[in-house]
Amino acid sequence: MLIRRPPDIASSEITPHSVYLARRDILAGGLGLALAAALPQSRAHADPLSAVKSAYSTDETPTRREDATSYNNFYEFGTDKADPAANAGALKVAPWSVKIDGLVGKPGTLTLEDILKPVTLEERIYRLRCVEGWSMVIPWVGFPLAALLARVEPLGSAKYVAFETLVRPEEMPGQRGLFQPLSWPYVEGLRLDEAMHPLAILATGMYGETLPAQNGAPLRLVVPWKYGFKSIKSIVRISLVEEQPPTTWKALAADEYGFFSNVNPEVDHPRWSQATERRIGEGSGLFAKRRPTLMFNGYADQVAQLYSGMDLRANY
């Protein structure tokens, strides 16, 4: 694998300065949830986060923002963990629109502003568990994917949701040149009932600020009970479909990465154990602590029923 050392660029230089959202007032939502969103005008003048935690948040200590924004997987910007932070500043995130098509009553292309207008953003602290054995705890700012899907009115024949990332080689160095680690666009998918689960969110921010490009600006999926690669970044298309859609990592190595990719400490990756994980920020090298990995990444109470009766070894 080609490894390049990226130039050292301060994170303040690579954060998009555009801001899509004005500060919103804290609202009390249904089900006793306190929902809120407050996004700063820019990183340099970041307002303190006044959002109230969603009922779906963990109370674990968040990973340091510097770690969550400098140790990334976003192969469109390179395969090294430092590449996205070094290269993603070139991504133009405004204007942005998402095509929503397939088996829906109301297909169309929505701008990011259209998508966000009717939603109330919530702060939700979720674990993101990567398949290679590391995890982070990130305060996301987002809204349930179900809210967007309901707006476009899925037809009865829709069984899966397919997602696509931007293809723009001029801005994405991983999409040009001799070494192309993946085929583009990066694609992912969920079963419709998984996509409608309230834990599945579309995030537009983290740490009370708009998403840094390296974390998937301006809109990315977060599915906290699945391995990290399901959480597709910089989404430009969402399609409702009848058949299970192709997914990037399964297309590359189907014996290693399945469609479901639920975090499961009992089902090893063919090349490594999935029983433990390293929490980013908790020591490194010889001093790295390892934690036991939890079934469904700790969200079993909420999501296990989605898979009742399924053989999770066969459906990895």
Ligand X SMILES: Nc1nc2c(c(=O)[nH]1)N[C@H]1C(S)=C(S)[C@@H](COP(=O)(O)O)O[C@H]1N2
Enumerate residues 121-140 that contact Mo ion by CB under 5 A: 130
Among 186, 207, 257, 307, the residue binding ligand X under the rule CB under 6 A is 186
Cα 160 to its chain centre, rounded Å, is 18
Taking alpha carbons only, the member of 50, 73, 204, 66 closest to residue 128 is 73
Q: By C-beta, is 197 or 233 nearer to Mo ion?
A: 233
Q: Is the peptide bond before 16 cis (omega within 30 degrees of 0)?
A: no
Q: Which of ligand X, Mo ion, none does residue 262 bind to, with CB < 5 to 8 Å depending on kind?
A: none
Q: Is 78 helix (H, G, I), strand (E, B) or coil?
A: coil
Q: Is 75 in the site for ligand X (CB under 6 A)?
A: yes
In the complex, what is the shortest distance from the CB of residue 297 to Mo ion, in angstroms, rounded to a whole number?
13
Under the binding rule (CB under 6 A), the answer on residue 190 touching ligand X is no
> Burial, 17: exposed, middle or buried (Cβ in 10 Å; 0-12, 13-18, 19+)?
exposed
Q: Nearer to ligand X by C-beta: 52 or 217?
A: 217
Identify whether the C-beta of residue 128 lies closer than 8 Å to the C-beta of residue 80: no
Choose one: 35-43, 46-54, 71-79, 119-127; the region binding ligand X (CB under 6 A). Answer: 71-79
Q: Which one of 2-10, 71-79, 112-120, 277-285 is the stretch in contact with Mo ion (CB under 5 A)?
A: 71-79
**Residue nearest to ligand X according to CB distances in the complex:** 228
φ/ψ (deg, to 5) at 193: -70, -30
Our finding on whether 261 is near ligand X (CB under 6 A) is no
Count CB-CB contacts under 10 A for residue 18: 14
Report CA Rg, the chain. Answer: 19
From candidates 135, 204, 210, 215, binder to ligand X by CB under 6 A:
215
232 touching ligand X, by CB under 6 A: yes
242: which residues sit within 8 A by CB, 6+ positions away?
Answer: 103, 157, 158, 159, 160
**Contacted entry of Mo ion, ligand X, none for residue 186, CB cut-off 5 to 8 Å set by kind:** ligand X
* Maximal C-alpha separation, the chain: 55
Contact of 171 with 93, CB cutoff 8 Å: no
Amino acid, single-letter form, for residue 227: Y
Distance CA 67, CA 270 (A): 28
- 74 lines the binding site for ligand X (CB under 6 A): yes
When asked if residue 40 is in the footprint of Mo ion (CB under 5 A), the reply is no
CB of 212 to ligand X, least distance (A): 9
Pairing status of strand 220-222 against strand 201-206:
antiparallel
Q: Provide the mask over 148-177, with x wherever binding to ligand X is found by CB under 6 A and - wherever it is not.
A: -----------------x------------
> Smallest distance, Å, CB 135 to ligand X?
10
Among 40, 224, 228, 298, binds Mo ion (CB under 5 A): 228
Question: Per CB under 6 A, does 128 bind ligand X?
Answer: yes
Alpha-carbon distances of 210 from 35, 49, 145, 165, 232, rounded to whole Å? 17, 12, 18, 18, 17
Rule CB under 5 A: is residue 74 a binding residue for Mo ion? no
Binding residues vs ligand X (CB under 6 A): 72-76, 128, 130, 165, 186, 215-216, 228-229, 231-234
Binding site for Mo ion (CB under 5 A): 73, 130, 228-229
